[in-house]
Structure formats: C-alpha cells, structure tokens
Structure 1
Amino acid sequence: MKKVSVISIIGVLVIGIISVLVYQGLQDNSSENSEALTATLLEQKEANTEPKPFKTKAVIGGIGDILLHDTVYNDALTENGYDFNPMFKPVHSILQKPDFLIANQESTPGGPEFGISSYPTFNSPFEIVDALMEAGVDMVTTANNHSIDRRTPSLALLSAIEYYEKVGLPYTGTFKSEEDRNTIRVMNVNGIKIAVLSYTYGLNGIPIPEGKDYVVNLLDRELILSDIEKAKPISDVVLLALHWGNEYQRQPNQEQRQLADEFIKAGADIIFGHHPHVLQPMQWIEREDGSKGLVIYSLGNFLSGQIWDYKDIGGMIEVTLTKEIRNNETTISIEDPILHPTFSSSIQFANYRVYPLDEAVEKGFTSLSSAEIREFFKEVK
C-alpha cells in the first residue's frame, strides 16, 4: 500500500472525529465550547495549508569551448586510446567549485568509427567526454557550427549522443529524434530547477540532412522565444547557451546585444555565449519589473589548439542562484558572478594543460594577470 493512501485514511479519520466533536458542541448549545473547537479546527487547517518558509542556494558554472585540434588529441594519444585527464588536472579544484557545471563541447566526439579529425571538419575521441566528467563537468551544450561536420555516411553526432547516454552525461543542442528535440532539459540542482537550451547561428554552410531538421537547434529567434515560453512554467531558471558573434572579437556585436536584450526580456535568466574563441564581457539586462538577467557574451576557449591574441585565455564563470518560498510566493535571485580566468598552454604544441591564469603567469606562459582579465570581463563597452 502506498504511504499516501495510509496518510489519506488517517486524515479522513481525524477530520471525522473533529467534525463529531464540533457537532456535539453545537448540540450542547455551548457557545464557548463551539468557538474553541472552531478555532482549533481553523488552526489545524492553517497548519496543514501554510508551507514553512523555504530557502536554498546553488552555484552553477560554465566553461567555454572544448575544441580538439589535432595537436591536442595527438598529445593525448596512448597505446590504448586517448587520455585527456592530465590536461584538466591543474584546474580540478576550480571545476569542482560549482554545484552544477556546463561545458560547451564544440568538436563533436563521434569516436573512431568516423575518423578522428581536426579543422575544418572536426570529430573527437570519446575519451574527451570521460575526462570532462572526471574533471567535474555535469552537462554539455552541443549546438555549434561544427555540430554536423562529419555527416556521412551517417551523423557522427548520433554516435556522440549514444556515448553521452552510455556514460550518463546530460546534453542539449543536438538531438537523436524529434521527441528528443522537444524534451526540454530541466536540471534539479539543490531544489532549483534549471532549464538549459542550446542554439547555434549556423553550420558552416553544411546542410542539415533531409528529414532530420531536429538534429541541431539553429539560432532562430522565433524558435528560441517559443522554447523560452515552454521552459518557464516548468523551471525556476532558464539558461540559454548561444553560439553567436564574430570570431576573435573581444566585444559583442550589435546582433548579440539585440538578441540578448530580447531573450532576457522574454524570460531567459542567464545566457552563456560561445563561438568568438576569446572572452567577451558580461552584462546585466534589466526587465520592466525591475528583475535582471545575466549575459556572458563569450566564455572563450577552455581547451583548444589555438594560441595568441587572447585565444588561449578562457575561464569558468560561477553564478549563485537563490530560491526562496515565503507566503506561497517564490522568488529567484541571480547573484555574484565570478570569473576564474584560465590559460590553455602547450610546449611546442605538446604537453597541453589548462592552468588557472595566475599559475600560468608564474610558469611564464603569459604575462596577462587575472586582475586585468577580470576588469575587462565585468563591463561591456
């Protein structure tokens, strides 16, 4: 027997007993007893219907592009496959900080069946997924301009999805079916429900296979507005991962700004941007009701073979979410965005490591300080 059934029966008996007592009090024509019993019944009703105040917090994190050029995956090659774990070891302590961490998996890990490959059509080893999970990543966003690079004889992204499901890593942005596409990912983090949606501006001119429009989310304004509307009633926070902007530009373009403003005002709460391969600053956007949404225009590269001109500077953003329920009203706050700058290093395109930026400075890989990067990051120009 279900517990709820037992509780229901007991509840009926208690209500019945109280009702008899109230009735007997009225029959005795005792005004004092009747009022006392009625007051008791009302108190009991209020105790059962008024929830206690509730408050919870969750720290969510985001990192930028995981884009495996040949120099990176060749460096990870072993006798038995690939081992990317050493590359993330220096930032393990940073990546463990959030309660929930999202990475942008740009090069599709379709595995060896499709041929491991680099620019311009990427296909990455399965082992990068294992290394990300070992490092602390809880989910990947997968809609980007390289999503269907390896599309023949069948889509490598379907092989990647099969592997994500095998190891239990949530994904969104690319999909195996129409049903999968229509299933909004809502992640429960410490009692806070976060809907995660992912879209890309394009696919480098590669057409989506006929009859498989569902395989990747394109950055279609109406589609995103519709998905936000669907996500809002089933979540506390709506997070968009958008592949947009101009490559290698350190400030967002006008289209990014306009879309961010529209999506935040339509109900998105947080935007994690990707594609420029360099960090772009964050911005708070205020809605008419006084609430605000947070936009990170680009999180840059986290691990890639690209170097110089800020392409080797990335970072992890962490944001604190607070959910409070009081007097049957729920409030959500988004606070304290903190960037932890990182540096993707190599020695003659080998021995790849992702370091906290200050540690990379100490090792002589760069002269850019964390203070300088954080100052740039905190304000859009």
Structure 2
Amino acid sequence: MFIDEATVYVKAGDGGNGCVSFRREKFVPFGGPDGGDGGKGGDVIFRASSRKSTLIDFKYKPHIKAARGVHGKGSGLHGKNGEDKIVLVPVGTLIYDKEDSSLIADLDCEGAECVVAKGGRGGRGNARFKSSTNQAPRTFEEGEKGEERTLRLELKLMADVGLVGFPNAGKSTLISVVSNAHPKVGDYPFTTLEPSLGVIKVDEENSFVIADIPGLIEGAHKGSGLGLRFLKHIERTGVILYLIDYLGFKEKSPIEIFATLKAELYQYNPELLNKKQIIALNKIDLESDESKIKKVEDEIRQKSDLEVYSISAIRKKGLKKLIWRLNELILKSREEKNEN
C-alpha cells in the first residue's frame, strides 16, 4: 500500500533525576555528597533512507518515543544517556509541525536527518551543590522533560520525470516497457491507483527515474478523480512528460487533452509550467495512415509550442528517440539546479 501522508506523535526521553547520596566509608564518619547526575534523555531523529518507499509504517505505529535517561547513583555515578530513537523515512519526506503547519525539515537526499524532538537534560546530583557554606547538601534536580509534539509527514516522490496524462493514456504500459517498474496495467480508467517509480537506463553512464502519476481528469486540482492527492509528486521532478492518447479521450481531441492537462497543472501550481516539458503522442499503432499521425503531431506542436514525439508504447515504437531526448532535458535541468 502506498501511503504518502501520515500524522505521528513523537516524545523524546526525559532526563534522569540527579541523586542525593553521601560517602559511606569506614573511618570517614562525615563523608561528603557523592550523588551523580542523571543521564540525558534520548532524541527522536528522522533519517531519510532509500530502503523506505512509503509512510505506511506510521499507520500502524503513530506514537514514537525515545528512551529516558537513567537516574544518577551514589559514589558519583552518573546515569547513562537515553538511547536516541532513529526513525527511517523515505527520501523526499517533508516534516511539518501539525499545530502551526510550519516546515521543520525537507529530507530530500539519502542520509539527511533531523532531530524532531530533543531529549531532556539530566538533573544534577547533590555533589554539584556542595559549597563552602553547605558541606552536606540534600538538594538535587529532577531531569527535564523531553520535547513532545505531533508531526504531519508528507512524501513527495523524488523523480527526474513526471509522467502525466488522462486515464488510459498508456502511462503504466510505457513505464513498464522502458523501465524496471511493473505497475498494474489494464484497459479501464484508474488502473493505476498509486504513483510508481521506474529507473530508465539510457546507457552505461546515464539513467533517470520516472514517476507514473495516476491519471488526471478535469478538475484534478480541486480533488476530482485521483489528481489532487498525487499532483504534489510532480513538484520535485525536473521534466514533465505529457502522455496523450492519439485517439483522444471521452470526446476530447489530443490537443484538447493537452490543454486540459496543462490547465490542471497551472491551477495546482503555476510554477510547474516553468519546468522543462515534452509531449508523447501514444498509440499511433492504431492508425495506419502516417499522414494523419503527422497532421495531429503538427497541430499539437504548433499550439503547444513544445516538442512532440509520436510513439507506441505497446509496440515499443519511437521510444529510443524519446528516451534520449528526455535524458538530454534531465541533464540540463540538473545543471541549472546546481547553478542555482
């Protein structure tokens, strides 16, 4: 099950209490204070890991606590610090404070981590309070409480290419043919109910990740269909690939489909249209007249002002040229990102 949002309560460990103790040794009737300090409470740390691909763990374990510090002991023995609680989350996880919706961290690379709740400081034992005027203090400190808070987690997939299109455009077929992904494929709307990632190997030196975003429909930015929930996954991509059915969809022509998809992306986030974009006209194997294909291709190219590639995912036709062009755009996108 793909879970890309979760709410979780985190509680860092409390600090251990300081100890009240006095030296009890033979021939030392008035031993001084020797109470040790309490240990620090453990932190709760979230760490990005490629071993995780969903936030489903938090559905079954919504409460996370770190260990408390051990209390101080006599003979000047300090309590052991509480063990930190390290929680692995998928790369691309955003962490928000649920109370004020402020962004705490964006764990956008392998190994990135954030302390989301700090453990409490250990309390001081009575040995710390000895002074010239108080040789036998019975004063000690309790450990501080560890931080606690409720977090909202949101996962945005880390991919180079975001594949968008209407239901039945052939996205799952395309991604299964060109990558190592194996999404569910079927001839009915909304076959794909969750995003999937595929790695496309271009050559010995180049590869990129493509995200199959579940089919959009008109009104997706308002929550219609599956769109609103999954549009966010396009935000991290460097290139948007529109996959359009050559035969159209529900009385919409290919150019009308493109206009609708573009409008949905704009309504959700206008900045999405600043990304590099390219169009693939799919299912050309269903048309025997090459001139008709070229006519549709030229119309889309003219009205969209974007590059258009005619392909047949199921027949593996035109894919190599498309993949090479996508790789070129991705490399440019990465260069521009590094410059900024």
Q: Which has the larger radius of gyration?
A: 2
Query: Which one has the bigger strand percentage?
Result: 1
Would the TM-score normalized by the shorter structure come out above 0.5? no
TM-score, length-scaled by structure 2: 0.30
Could you say which structure has the greater relative contact order, defined with CA pairs below 8 angstroms and 6 or more residues apart?
1
